[in-house]
């Protein structure tokens, strides 16, 4: 880890960066996650529900694990980032339980200088591992990183070939047996058969973000990106204020999606995601979701897979399903466009 | 659980609503509770103090359990509530320890349409159970709920006959042996014999509420009532701002009551409670308590019972014991009038 | 514990005050500590790193333990304090793990009335113990406390003879074997040999403080000092607003010091500390550190000791190492001057 973080010219294709220190995730972290987002999906909230699915106990929320792994990578990858451009090929590989210590590492899989020579795009494949060394999560992200010196000469561009989405066969089954649970165990919500491709769900509620909340979250994740924490510096910056960590918006949108997707219990993969406009404290986040595809898991006939596109907005309710216009341009109130796989009971 | 919540005409007398998903409560939730209120009662703070009373370890704060059970009921009972009118017949039935998974259900015990036909009052008896199925808490609350359609015709009114207070013989003993502990274990505070009916205690301190705090609390409890979270919508609402969950005020008042009632360790019952004015972020909460009655527990001669009336105010210190005037009208700065039973050592 | 706290004339030389109730510290408290400060030192964050050093699991952050012990003492010692004047002779005596119940007691070791007779300085030696009764932390602090009655006559002044710093031989080794860990376990950071007396490190980042954050922290520590919580009263007070607990600033500065001191894993002692100006919500805290001395631990040749002086500022970056001027006067933006011992691997 370079003091002051890495600049574009510090990265080399194929380089592997170990993101120490590791982090033991506990029920304390899980409680904070609940307090920050109010997520209510049954297996992550209740040991009883988790055990009824064959899990040892309530696993950590998939996005808490994602943020922890992501946070570990920030000091090495994106401390000098101008923008977090996108995610792809995300796969959640096994349930993570309280008490597990995670470590993360990233491999540089692409580098492309921008025409202005001030910045370049760094593509990394980041992997989180538990304390047995097994991979728990892997994803690709790309970020625009400042050059230390615009004049420095860098290698020719290499851009990785990224899949438009994770193939169903490559998704892991998060629970041995995803069965429909009785209502008292949290089984209420839509049946898989009712969630058809093309269907759209307004998640209804809105959640206002406070400075204290997004900073508590982002520190919990060991994410050290400066734009989130330092009002004294940001007052003179691009927006005049702190920017909310994009992952905070993802977690709010996912928690809101309980309204309408209460049984879409697990996130199995992330196909793509873009933070299309910034979110600030004081903004109220709303969200809606479109079902893009539905599948039976190729290796697990009891598991239904939902490919979902969730759009989050700020200060703009989602009853009319706002999104990019015909031109592909996002209105300024759309802040997130996320494409992910959820796993749920097929029956 | 109906999408968008139940309206008045959706409830039927005798109906039982199971409030899934359940919720495993952990030491993480307990730590957040401490951070939110600063509660310092010995048995809930220290395993050593709890064990000296014959408990397995520090139990969860009684009000944390109450809020968790209450929160579970919100999506089914009060999502379309105009006002939370009152509580009665609350009984805390056994100590709840970290690791327990609670589930809640409510039975509709009364329904009464209002004269304007826009709303009606729903009376429910809510019970929280642990993962062995044993009841840990039961209470009645009544809420004013909007009708979906003012024109819909509903059944004749049924109003339950509610006790003015829980009888001492119906209160459970929270610890096998409530003994006075040495000072080093948290035993300092008033003796039972010093707390006489009619006595009044100003709890002295004031606590200012922040938006981030009441939202963290309310999400932690899985309480989804919209008025607490959505500034974008509430800006156009009744008060122009988010309303603090009434239970947040109860917990602040209870934590403040440590000043003067440090040995009133357990809440055994809730006789009644009303949120007589709203609380908003920025308000400073003060509280005072009057001892209404004292008893020896009929089945447990070592246990003293205190019937306490706690009044909480906003931006108004309690050195002059403010309350409703002779007319029964509350001044606008009184926000809570709570009547509860505490259990403590008699000797 | 006197209702309303002790005044200067309530203290007697040699008096021992037991600060009940005790407090069980859990992984929930540790998670909140991480969310509040973002501290990333490896042994406290990761069980794997801690075990590689011969510890049972990740111990609690040394400053979390300090704040918990300090908080316990507030109701007895400093509820009527005008100012917290300083710390000395602090020693962290053994690692504290989640699940331990701490209790604290203070001995009055000095008393000195001020010339104006309105206030006096109380010196106490505070000791925290775990549930086996073993001391985990001891330190001296002195506070200026109001007199109940300026006219009351008090004993002649006794001022304790305090060491300018804790001698290296009196510091405890926090881990059986402090070895350099591999990068994947959090071993990245400066080598002991690179940290030379006289060296100065700008910790770079700034952290803005919110009201909700410092109040969550201060309640978590059971610190009841009124100036931190009551905006209604403080609006008419000295500054017109709530004051941030000084220990909150120490923890921010320590967390920021990871930038440049990532391997200075343990706090072994506190030589002295002064909160030279107040910190308020909205302030952005920066910090820098000077290495004052380096030693090999006399009884543990593998352990390097760093005597560090950390200066924290508000709304003032530390790239030019601000501190007191030649006259010893602190500029108004300097808020903390702390002198402490850190322990790290020598090789």
Give chain A positions within 8 Å (CB) of C216.
Answer: 212
Give chain C positions within 8 Å (CB) of B204.
Answer: 3-4
**What is the predicted pLDDT for the residue at C1?**
47
Average pLDDT over residues C332-338: 98
**Could you give the CA distance from residue C267 to residue C309 in angstroms, rounded to a whole number?**
12
Residue C75 CB: number of other CB atoms within 10 A? Answer: 26
> Is the Cβ–Cβ distance between A231 and A242 less than 8 Å?
yes
> Is the Cβ–Cβ distance between A75 and A224 less than 8 Å?
yes
- CB within 8 Å: C47 and A229: no
User: Which among C186, C284, C317 has the least Cβ separation from residue A21?
Assistant: C186
- CB within 8 Å: C230 and B284: yes
Judged by a CB distance cut-off of 8 A, whether residue C158 touches chain B is: no
> Is the Cβ–Cβ distance between B54 and C240 less than 8 Å?
no
- Give the closest residue to C177 by CA, choosing from C297, C267, C65, C307: C297
Those residues whose C-beta lies under 8 Å from the C-beta of residue A40, and which sit 6 or more positions away, are: A255, A258, A262, B21, B222, B224
**Could you give the CA distance from residue C9 to residue A305 in angstroms, rounded to a whole number?**
72
Instruction: List, as one string, the DSSP characters of A107-157.
Output: EEEEEEE-TTSSEEEEEEEEEEE-TTS-EEEEEEEEEEEE-S-TT---PPP
- Give the closest residue to B18 by CA, choosing from A183, A49, A258: A183
Instruction: Give the residue, A171 or C176, on which the prediction is more confident.
Output: A171
> Is the Cβ–Cβ distance between C34 and C45 less than 8 Å?
yes
| pLDDT tens digits along C68-100 | 999 999 999 999 888 888 999 999 999 999 999
Q: Kindly tell me if the per-residue pLDDT of A217 is higher than 70.
A: yes
Half-sphere exposure at residue B90, Cβ-oriented, CA atoms within 13 angstroms: 26
Q: What are phi and psi of A220, to 5 degrees?
A: -55, -35
Judged by a CB distance cut-off of 8 A, whether residue A38 touches chain B is: yes
What is the band of A1 on the pLDDT scale with cuts at 50, 70, 90?
A: very low
Judged by a CB distance cut-off of 8 A, whether residue C180 touches chain A is: no
Judged by a CB distance cut-off of 8 A, whether residue A1 touches chain C is: yes
**Element spanning B286, H or E:** strand B284-297
Judged by a CB distance cut-off of 8 A, whether residue C168 touches chain B is: no
Average pLDDT over residues A323-345: 96
- CB within 8 Å: A21 and C41: yes
**What is the predicted pLDDT for the residue at A84?**
86
Judged by a CB distance cut-off of 8 A, whether residue B297 touches chain A is: no
Q: What is the pTM of this model?
A: 0.98
Task: Name the residue ranges covered by the structural domains of chain C.
Answer: 8-149+160-345
Residue of B nearest to A45 (CA): B23
Q: Kindly tell me if the per-residue pLDDT of A2 is higher than 60.
A: no
Judged by a CB distance cut-off of 8 A, whether residue C344 touches chain A is: no
Those residues whose C-beta lies under 8 Å from the C-beta of residue A238, and which sit 6 or more positions away, are: none
Give chain C positions within 8 Å (CB) of A222.
Answer: 34, 38, 40, 45
| pLDDT tens digits along B292-310 | 999 999 999 999 999 999 9
**What is the predicted pLDDT for the residue at C83?**
84
**Among A25, A41, A48, A255, the residue to mutate for chain B (most B Cβ within 10 A):** A48
Using DSSP, state whether C93 is helix, strand or coil. Answer: coil
Cα-based angle C68, B205, B65 (whole degrees, multiple of 5): 65
- Give the closest residue to C7 by CA, choosing from C107, C115, C88, C82: C82
**Could you give the CA distance from residue C83 to residue C274 in angstroms, rounded to a whole number?**
10
Residue B14 CB: number of other CB atoms within 10 A? Answer: 9
CATH number assigned to the domain covering A8-148+164-345: 3.10.129.10
- List subunits contacting chain B, requiring 3 or more Cβ pairs under 8 Å: A, C
User: Which among C21, C218, C229 has the least Cβ separation from residue B42?
Assistant: C21
Q: Kindly tell me if the per-residue pLDDT of C3 is higher than 90.
A: no
Give chain A positions within 8 Å (CB) of C219.
Answer: none
Average pLDDT over residues C130-155: 95
Those residues whose C-beta lies under 8 Å from the C-beta of residue A231, and which sit 6 or more positions away, are: A211, A241, A242, C208, C282, C284
DSSP assignment letter at B176: S
Using DSSP, state whether A20 is helix, strand or coil. Answer: strand
Give chain C positions within 8 Å (CB) of B52.
Answer: none
Structure tokens, B44: 């809930």
Q: End-to-end CA distance of chain B: give it in Å, rounded.
A: 48
- Give the closest residue to C345 by CA, choosing from C195, C191, C201: C191
User: Which among B31, B99, B233 has the least Cβ separation from residue A206?
Assistant: B233
Q: Kindly tell me if the per-residue pLDDT of A142 is higher than 60.
A: yes
**What is the predicted pLDDT for the residue at A331?**
97
**Could you give the CA distance from residue A37 to residue A251 in angstroms, rounded to a whole number?**
7
User: Which among A26, A217, A230 has the least Cβ separation from residue C284?
Assistant: A230
Give chain C positions within 8 Å (CB) of B28.
Answer: 26-28, 31
| pLDDT tens digits along C219-252 | 999 999 999 999 999 999 999 999 999 999 999 9
Q: Kindly tell me if the per-residue pLDDT of A77 is higher than 90.
A: yes
Structure tokens, A97: 């339980």
> Is the Cβ–Cβ distance between B6 and B79 less than 8 Å?
yes
Mean pLDDT per 10-residue interval, chain B, length 347 residues: 81 96 97 98 98 97 98 94 91 98 98 95 98 97 95 93 96 93 94 98 98 98 95 96 97 98 98 96 98 96 97 98 94 98 96
In CATH terms, the superfamily for domain C8-149+160-345 is Hotdog Thioesterase (3.10.129.10)
What is the band of C331 on the pLDDT scale with cuts at 50, 70, 90?
A: very high
A52-78 burial code (b ≥16 CB/10 A, e <16)? bbebebbbbbbbbbbbbbbbbbbbbbb
**What is the predicted pLDDT for the residue at C2?**
52
Give chain A positions within 8 Å (CB) of B128.
Answer: none
Judged by a CB distance cut-off of 8 A, whether residue B229 touches chain A is: yes
Selecting from 3.10.129.10, 3.20.20.10, 3.30.420.340, 3.30.70.20, what CATH number does the domain B8-345 have? 3.10.129.10
Structure tokens, C44: 């406290």
Give chain A positions within 8 Å (CB) of C40.
Answer: 21, 222, 224
Residue C152 CB: number of other CB atoms within 10 A? Answer: 12
> Is the Cβ–Cβ distance between C158 and C111 less than 8 Å?
yes
């Amino acid at each position: 880890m370079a003091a002051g973080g890495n600049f574009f010219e510090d990265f080399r294709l194929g380089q592997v960066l170990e993101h120490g220190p590791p982090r033991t995730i506990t029920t304390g972290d899980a409680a904070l996650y609940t307090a920050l987002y109010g997520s209510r999906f049954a297996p992550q909230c209740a040991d009883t529900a988790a055990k009824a699915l064959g899990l040892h106990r309530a696993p950590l929320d998939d996005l808490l694990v994602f943020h922890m792994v992501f946070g570990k990578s920030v000091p090495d990858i994106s401390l000098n980032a101008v923008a977090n451009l996108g995610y792809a090929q995300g796969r959640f590989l096994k349930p993570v339980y309280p008490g597990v210590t995670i470590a993360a590492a990233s491999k540089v899989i692409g580098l492309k200088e921008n025409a202005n020579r001030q910045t370049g795009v760094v593509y990394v494949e980041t992997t989180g591992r538990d304390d047995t060394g097994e991979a728990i999560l892997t994803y690709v992200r790309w970020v625009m990183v400042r050059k230390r010196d615009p004049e420095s000469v860098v290698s020719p561009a290499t851009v990785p070939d990224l899949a438009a989405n994770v193939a169903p066969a490559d998704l892991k089954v998060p629970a041995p047996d995803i069965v429909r649970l009785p209502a008292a165990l949290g089984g209420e919500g839509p049946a898989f058969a009712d969630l058809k491709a093309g269907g759209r769900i307004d998640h209804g509620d809105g959640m206002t973000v406070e400075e204290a909340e997004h900073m508590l979250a982002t520190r919990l994740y060991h994410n050290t990106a400066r734009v989130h924490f330092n009002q004294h510096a940001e007052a003179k910056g691009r927006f005049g204020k702190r920017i909310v960590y994009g992952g905070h918006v993802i977690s709010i949108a996912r928690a809101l999606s309980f309204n309408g997707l209460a049984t879409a219990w697990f996130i199995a993969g992330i196909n793509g995601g873009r933070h299309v406009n910034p979110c600030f404290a004081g903004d109220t986040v709303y969200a809606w979701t479109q079902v893009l595809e539905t599948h039976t898991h190729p290796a697990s006939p009891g598991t239904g897979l939902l490919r979902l596109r969730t759009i989050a907005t700020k200060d703009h309710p989602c009853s009319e399903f706002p999104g990019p216009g015909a031109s592909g341009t996002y209105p300024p109130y759309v802040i997130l466009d996320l494409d992910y796989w959820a796993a749920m009971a097929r029956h």
